Structure 1
Amino acid sequence: MDERAAAPTFGEFIKAFGRIGCLSFGGPAGQIALMQHEIVDRRGWVEQGAFLRALNLCHLLPGPEAQQLATWIGWRLFGVRGGLAAGLLFVIPGALVMLGLSLLYAMAAGLGWFAALFLGIKAAVLAVVAQALMRVAKRALGTRFKWVLAALAAIPLTVLHAPFPLVILGAGVIGAVVSRTRPEWLGAHHAPTAAADRAPTHRLVLQTLGTVAAWGAIWALPLVAVFALLGPHHVLWQVGLFFSRLAVVTFGGAYAVLAYMAQQAVSGYGWLMPGEMADGLGLAETTPGPLIMVTQFVGFLAAWRHPGELSPLVAGLLGAGLTTWVTFAPCFLWIFACAPWMERLEHAERLQGALAAITAAVVGVIANLALWFALHVLFRTVTPGGLPVLASLDWRAALIAAGAAAMLFGLKRGIMETLAACALGGLALSAF
């Protein structure tokens, strides 16, 4: 270690997480590795075993696991104020950058050079999603049964357009049942009963109920204000309600819910055009913090384009703020309520089985997302049934996507470098 392994002062802690929040590029794997280096290896503020157990807990919960891990580290070191500080510092830098990019996107929409720039970014996103699919599959599909679960998730989403929450719920139920009878199908083993598995104390139950009530109220507060001031038909109410529901089913990270989000934002509410979801993901890849920050992009554009009696700018800012609030307030609820139960959750066999099955199903969900993006980026026309019109193939997008794949898989270039090169490629090919 470069520094002593003593407990930090609150000022040292704030400085460390301010640095982490500004440097947390690269998705959850890179963000978790950064916290491992800064908090465990370099400073020794949290023991390696506790860090890994907390990471397992965060995988059990909906929402961005890296942000929740940051919140847990803060809670472990300084209680609720530490959890708030770490969680907010992890989110705020990326949220501010994403807000600026969303505003620029909305104001520049319709300009030829801007459309050419994002032609390249959207094509690059196809390769980025394919890379994420391969990484998640390698980690999650360790048994034949998990491959079957991934296929069972992909088929109804692609062919039947089944609701994403229903697919995740079904996978969880299957995992919980299989974990009791055939745990080896999930690559799991029954954990030995430990003292931590005893019935929880009365005090811990009351503490948890109080935490849930307090953070549930915090989560709902802006929704109540929107309902009272603007009514249930305003776009801000729809945005707040939709992303609140999404926060409960965000298992498997941002890639897992993007297809569902796109389906609802494009077809359900009409907030975005199909290709714009890929634009938002491309922007989110360039910002620090959780990739789920793409929700802010959607909330901003939804309110900007349907402001009602508000101005587009005011509505867009409120939409971005509301979306960010209802996306990340639940993360604090989950951590503050569940962290004291961490050891007990590690021995919950059915819960672990459900998580393993959901993780496998997420591979199928991301495969569905990759197909959805490919159809709407590579083809100018897609039928209502989801089939592409072959004559509408955009050869420029196909060429740039192939180049992005070569950079990521062949040349092993980073995501930021690939996005930048493809954006320039989109500008260069815009003349054709």
Structure 2
Amino acid sequence: MHRILVDERKWLGDGRFLHALNFCMLLPGPEAQQLATYIGWLMHGVRGALIAGGLFILPGVVAIMGLSWLYALFGDVAVVSALFFGLKAAVLAIVLQAVVRVGRRALKSGVMRGIAAASFVSIFAFGAPFPLIVAGAALIGWFGGKAGLAGFKGGGHGPSGGAHVADAETLLGAEVALPPSARRGAIQAGLVALILWLLPVGALVLLAPGSVFTDIATYFSKLAVLTFGGAYAVLAWVAQEAVGTYGWLKPGEMLDGLGMAETTPGPLIMVLQFVGFMGALREAGWAMPLLAGTAGGLLTTWVTFAPCFAWIFLGAPFMEGLRENRALSAALSAVTAAVVGVILNLSIWFALHVIWRSVMRLEWGPFALDLPVPGSIDWVAAGLSALALIAVFRLGLGMAKVLAGAAALGVVLHFAGLA
């Protein structure tokens, strides 16, 4: 986005782009989609925001929906299963790469490393809910930043720390001033977006309590408010709830959905549409389950992205004040550190269900731990995962090459009688 918008098309300057990026990093939800929405608003107001934000996700909506139908219809076909078998190994390597990348950016002090460690232990060994981890980290960061304690300096959530914020403030100058009409228009659009998001959720709660569609609407709405830290952090909570609490998916299917989202256009968070699709497909009880799945998938997408437009429209006129709040910046840096621990837990969860055929649960008081069953290791999956890790960390291959290669190897292993 930076290369095309700033360097090639020159629609906006580098300072304004970085200013917008840091603002989107402060918001819950997928920052890439929100950045597209915000830049559309900068250039052409509310209409530009709707076009840019909507078209950013539309290809992913169509692609994931089509793949969800194919998965529901043909997912048990041997060749298709073999293809997803290969994708799972690649996904494991990509998530581990995310741990390393986010960790290098966020864990620049002993305090942040401690928050990450505590976050990992909380979710891995005690099953702490993701929102509780986020809230705890935010409070620690907020009070640490407010008190000016060492290790709590904000700005670590941007691509290159706090330097971008300062650069943006210097380069923007008078550009940040907005006419009153633009502020009013943005706030009015934000209120409309809130109504359009919450109206169907409220209607489902009142008219269909206990249905899978109500569960989808309320759960993914909560997710939209608490998704600081990027898609991988969100997936840890989704795996915890969609697989463990609601039973919408099996662990292997969660991995299959992530493989779909990694290989299709649009933000990675589009995997949530697959989760909603499969949940409604199985739980709605409709005579036409694929139609129920389609409704569930589209409902998931709606309650995931409608709030993103609301945050942009409501927050954009006041972004300067938000970005200059040091306590808030420190809180978000602490959340990003906690997210490292959450993503590490996600990678271990994936590894348990990719490399081992059986997992047992060890419980003792508040302590609850998933462990592989001895002797249940899948050596073919382990070997394929090792190759994917070498491709990512040693050879430095890109995501598309790793995914394509792993999927092809899965099919080859199937025809060789090994998968």
Taking only the aligned residue pairs, the percentage that are identical comes to 50
Q: Does 1:140 align with 2:124?
A: no
Q: 2:80 aligns with which of 96, 111, 114?
A: 114
Q: What is the match of residue 95 of structure 1?
A: 61
Structure 2 residue ranges without an equivalent (≥5)? 156-161, 363-369
Letter paired with 2:119: A
Distance 1:209 1:412, change over 3 A: closer
Q: In structure 2, what is the equivalent of residue 343 of structure 1?
A: 320
Residue 60 of structure 1 corresponds to 26
Corresponding residue for 2:89?
A: 123
Residue 153 (str. 1) matches residue 130 (str. 2): no
Q: What is the rounded CA distance, in whole Å, between the counterparts of 1:228 and 1:173 in structure 2?
A: 34
Could you say what secondary structure the match of 2:295 adopts?
A: helix
The answer for the alignment partner of 1:402 in structure 2 is 386
Q: Is the 8 A contact 1:146 1:185 kept in 2?
A: yes
Q: CA deviation at 1:211?
A: 4.6
Change (3 A) 1:204 1:78: closer
Structure 2: which amino acid aligns with 1:252?
G
Aligned to 1:268: 245
Question: Can you list the C-alpha shifts for 1:119-146, whole angstroms capped at 9, x where unaligned?
Answer: 1111111101011111111111111211
Match of 2:193 in 1: 215
Report the CA distance shift for 1:310/1:377 in structure 2 as closer, same or farther (over 3 A).
Answer: same
User: Which amino acid counterpart does residue 213 of structure 1 have in structure 2?
Assistant: L
- The aligned residue for residue 148 of structure 2 is 182
Q: Report the Cα distance in structure 2 between the residues aligned to 1:206 and 1:49, rounded to whole angstroms.
A: 25
**Which residue does the alignment assign to 1:172?**
138
Written as runs of structure 1 = structure 2, the 5 A alignment for 1:386-401 is 386-401=370-385
Q: Distance in 2 between matches of 1:209 and 1:360?
A: 32
**1:391 partner SS:** coil
1:12: which partner in 2? none
What's the CA shift for 1:110? Answer: 2.0
Q: Which runs of 5+ in 1 are unaligned?
A: 1-34
Equivalent pair of 2:233/2:342 in contact (CA under 8 Å): yes
Letter in structure 1 aligned against 2:377? L
Q: Distance in 2 between matches of 1:64 and 1:72?
A: 12
**Equivalent-residue separation in structure 1 for 2:144 and 2:185 (angstroms):** 33
Provide the residue aligned with 1:43 in structure 2. 9
Distance 1:210 1:405, change over 3 A: same
- Say how many residue pairs are matched: 394
Please name the residue that 1:3 is paired with: none
Aligned to 1:311: 288
In structure 2, C-alpha distance between the alignment counterparts of 1:221 and 1:213, rounded to whole Å = 12
User: Relative to 1, partners in 2 of residues 1:207 and 1:354: Cα closer, same or farther, differing over 3 Å?
Assistant: farther
Q: Aligned to 2:349, which of 358, 372, 388? A: 372
Distance 1:203 1:170 in 2: 39
- How far the C-alpha of 1:217 sits from its partner, in A, is 0.8
The question of whether the paired residues in 1 share the 8 Å contact of 2:153 and 2:330 is answered with no
Correspondences of 1:350-365 after superposition (within 5 Å):
350-365=327-342
CA distance in 2, matches of 1:81, 1:209: 14
Q: Are the aligned partners of 2:190 and 2:309 in contact in 1 as well (CA < 8 Å)?
A: no
Structure 2 counterpart of 1:27: none
Q: Distance in 2 between matches of 1:347 and 1:267?
A: 40
Q: Report the equivalent of 2:278.
A: 301
Aligned to 1:232: 209
Paired position in structure 1 for 2:310: 333
- Alignment TM-score, normalising by the size of structure 1: 0.86
Match of 1:413 among 383, 387, 397: 397
SS in 1 for 2:266: coil
Inter-partner Cα distance in structure 2 for 1:391 and 1:310: 42
Deviation at 1:212, TM superposition (A): 4.5
1:77 to 33, 43, 47: 43
Secondary structure class of the residue paired with 1:373: helix
1:69 offset after TM fit, Å? 0.4
- Tell me which amino acid in the other structure corresponds to 2:141: G
Give secondary structure in 2 for the equivalent of 1:390: coil
Instruction: Quickly say closer, same or farther: Cα 1:203–1:113, change in 2 above 3 A.
Output: closer
SS in 1 for 2:371: coil
**Could you tell me whether the CA contact under 8 Å between 2:140 and 2:331 is conserved in 1?**
yes
Q: TM-score, normalised by structure 2?
A: 0.89
Q: Does 1:242 pair with 2:219?
A: yes
The two structures, once aligned, show a CA RMSD in angstroms of 2.5
Distance 2:266 2:412 in 1: 31
Question: Does the 8 Å contact 1:142/1:187 carry over to 2?
Answer: no
1:153, distance to aligned residue in structure 2 (A): 0.7
Q: How far apart, CA to CA, are the structure 1 residues paired with 2:326 and 2:375?
A: 52
Counterparts of 1:287 and 1:108 in 2: how far apart (Å)?
A: 18
Q: For 1:86, which of 52, 58, 61 is the aligned residue?
A: 52
In the alignment, does 2:283 pair up with 1:283?
no
Alpha-carbon shift at residue 336 of structure 1 (Å): 0.4
* Partner residue in 1 for 2:366: none
